Amino acid sequence: MTDVVILGLGYVGLPLAQEAVRAGASVCGYDVNEAIVASLNACRSHVDDLADSDIAEMRAGGFTATTDEAHIASAATAVICVPTPLSEDGGPDLAAVKAATRTIARNLRPGMLVILESTTYPGTTDEVVRPLLESSGLRAGVDFHLAFSPERIDPGNEKFGPRNTPKVVGGHSAACADRAVEFYGRFVDTVVRTKGTREAEMAKLLENTYRHVNIALVNEMARFCNQLGIDLWDVIRAASSKPFGFQAFYPGPGVGGHCIPIDPNYLSHNVRSKLGYPFRFVELAQEINATMPEYVARRAQDILNDSGLAVSGSSILLLGVTYKPDIADQRESPAVPLARLLQGQGAKLSYHDPYVEHWNCFDGGVPRVDDLSSAIAEADLVILVQSHGVYDADRLAGQARRFFDTRGVTKGPDVYRL
């Protein structure tokens, strides 16, 4: 008997497997990607937060990865950690969730606990996952246990990981919740119980909608503060001195990653489709955040124009192309639409990123520079898109003809800031 099988071995499933193994659980990882399974079994990691040595430690603790769904039948708990990207109509694409659920249904046993961790709209666990599982002939809350527990993985976060980030859990029934709380309690410090699965599903969306809306607020402020000659970064620093009633959010060239640009749209789509009216805060925030790369491109054009240069034919170096600092993850990175906009205007683009060897953001890709100092000195404009820790922004700005800081990390006077 295996304690847990985790379906989906990416940024969510693999750290979860690591914590379970460390707690002494027997863990099997299931994935349909044969290359990922082979790599993990050979002790090679494909995610930022886990090194090859971490995978080797997991393997020594009994972890194994497989593409054979028969292993699911021998597990006490099955956790679904597959991706839910946006579909063409703006809602979540549940194809991977449905496929994983059908796989579990074919191997479901009485007494098994099934948990969905993939982010989605409220009602998915009960309206989509439960019927597929019950096609096995077993009933949720009677023959097997069913729960939802939203993933809260923050790639690259050195302070909070799966163990010390509180785990929200909502069960199909009280008994289902009890089983899920007991399961996570083995390797998570704090488990927070909700009234049901819908509350747990909504909690995740509220978290990221809160961030989405507040980032949009400062992004819009960045636009008019620039026109008014106000240093927004200094404004935020001053406002942050208040010990209550304020939380700092910062503007940037756009919002990236697998959560903030995507998750609030699940909720907006759900409200429109079920209730028939818009979630206006989310839709406005999406509009503002989605147009930030265009705003940065216009600012770049203005900076070059002030020196009598056109974007067309000018050499522009982009520093940092990942969606957040100090990781290699490029999902929904605002550097991609920014590069496409500048390339469309005829700019001679190049990039540097210590975590990205090849950047194919459009056909032909963007050439990578190896000699950073020379590239900065030669570029007509350097744009800091992502502030990786290895970048000494003030020093780099001092080497550049023109330096556009979209992250507010420079202090010198001869720098253009967002």
CA within 13 Å, CB half, 28 = 19
Dump pLDDT digits (tens) for 290-340. 999 999 999 999 999 999 999 999 999 999 999 999 989 888 899 999 999
pLDDT above 90 for 360: no
CATH class of 2-203: alpha beta
Supply the DSSP symbol for 144: B
The per-residue pLDDT for 362 is 81
Alpha carbon distance 380, 303 (integer Å): 10
Backbone angles phi, psi at 148, to 5 degrees: -120, 135
DSSP string, 291-317: THHHHHHHHHHHHHHHTT--STT-EEE
Q: Are 10 and 84 in contact (CB under 8 A)?
A: no
SS3 43: coil
DSSP string, 44-96: ---STT--HHHHHHHHHTT-EEES-GGGGGGEEEEEE-----B-TTSSB--HH
Alpha carbon distance 327, 335 (integer Å): 14
Q: Where exactly does CATH 3.40.50.720 map onto the chain?
A: 2-203, 291-417
Of residues 155 and 97, the one with the higher pLDDT is 97
CATH no., domain 291-417: 3.40.50.720
The per-residue pLDDT for 20 is 96
Instruction: For residue 259, indicate whether it is catalytic.
Output: yes
SS3 405: strand
pLDDT above 90 for 148: yes
Dump pLDDT digits (tens) for 231-242. 999 999 999 999
Q: Are 316 and 349 in contact (CB under 8 A)?
A: yes
Which whole-number Å values give the CA distances from 236 to 103, 219, 225, 240, 248, in the listed order?
49, 12, 12, 6, 7
Kindly give, in sequence order, each residue whose CB lies less than 8 Å from that of residue 294, ignoring residues fewer than 6 positions away.
337, 341
pTM (predicted TM-score): 0.90
The per-residue pLDDT for 274 is 82
Q: Are 370 and 393 in contact (CB under 8 A)?
A: no
Which residue has 């029934």 as its token pair? 173
Q: Check 28, 81, 225, 259 and give the catalytic one.
A: 259
Alpha carbon distance 177, 195 (integer Å): 9
